[in-house]
Amino acid sequence: MEKRYGKRRRRYEQRARRFMRRTRRTRRAGNIAGVLDQLGHLLKKEQEKYFSKEIACIEKDWCLPEKSRIESLKPILDGKMILRVGGRLERAEMEYERRHPAIVPNGSRLAWLIMHSAHSATKHGAVQVMMQHIRQKFWIPKIRSELRSYLHKCLVCVRHNHRFEMQLMADLPSERVTAGKTFLHTGVDYAGPFEIKMEQESKS
Ligand SMILES: [Zn+2]
């Protein structure tokens, strides 16, 4: 069982790597139709894996199963059988993909690849920036926590966002915390000794 799972995972990762390679190549050639086909294929595979019950219900025009993770998104199926967010923006003047972003299951490999691409496109952007970038086309449920756990794994971000440790200060001496007459206690900040070079006196 373990062996079969490992094999399937390897195959899936190979397919994702091939997809990334093809994406790079086709983008360079200026042909994005092939990329969109590949992306649509991957999207469908992931959606079938995570939301098979929801897809079956929508196809039959039934209500979504109880406790469905995407019930609040009022999902719809587009002409290519891709699950998209329904919502109330049907009449808004914006592109179809922004009105109805494709639903990408959280925790899936595809969601990770999308976050990875958004992170490099936004030059190590933070949660809010990446969210804006991703939601132009995709909807990942519970995206904030997904992004946070992604960012925890980015070494560059972890290093840059690291807070410096604060020095623990010792208790103040009693003279400084007890009320008294002016100049009853005085102190001086002392540092040194400093070595200085005196100017040479002229011999004439
Ligand atoms: Zn980063």
* CA 16 distance to own-chain centroid: 19
Cα-to-centroid distance, 101 and ligand 1 (Å):
25
Q: Partners of 102 in the beta sheet?
A: 84, 138
Neighbours of ion ligand 1 (CB under 5 A): 124, 154, 156-157
Q: What are the pLDDT digits (tens) for 148-179?
A: 999 999 999 999 888 878 888 999 989 889 88
At residue 36, the pLDDT reads 65
CATH number of the structural domain 2-160: 1.10.340.70
- Pairing of β 138-139 and β 102-103: parallel
Give me the phi and psi of 84, to 5 degrees please: -130, 160
At residue 157, the pLDDT reads 93
At residue 32, the pLDDT reads 54
143/141 Cα distance (integer angstroms): 5
At residue 145, the pLDDT reads 95
133/117 Cα distance (integer angstroms): 10
Cα-to-centroid distance, 116 and ligand 1 (Å):
9
Percent of the chain with pLDDT over 90: 43
Cα-to-centroid distance, 114 and ligand 1 (Å):
14
At residue 123, the pLDDT reads 94
* Residue-wise DSSP of 100-113: SPEE--TTSHHHHH
Q: Is the pLDDT of residue 25 over 80?
A: no
Residue spans per domain, the chain: 2-160
Cα-to-centroid distance, 118 and ligand 1 (Å):
10
Q: Which residues 6+ apart lie within 8 Å of 136 measured at CB?
A: 97, 98, 101
Q: Per-residue confidence at 143, pLDDT binned at 50, 70, 90?
A: very high
Instruction: Quote the pTM value.
Output: 0.64
Q: What are the pLDDT digits (tens) for 44-86?
A: 999 999 999 999 999 988 888 888 888 888 999 998 899 999 8
Q: Side-chain half-sphere of 28: how many Cα atoms within 13 Å? A: 5
Cα-to-centroid distance, 157 and ligand 1 (Å):
4
Mean pLDDT of the chain: 85
Closest CA to 55 of 68, 39, 38: 68
Q: Which residues of 142-162 are buried (b: 16+ CB within 10 A; e: fewer)?
A: ebeebbeebbeebeebeeeee
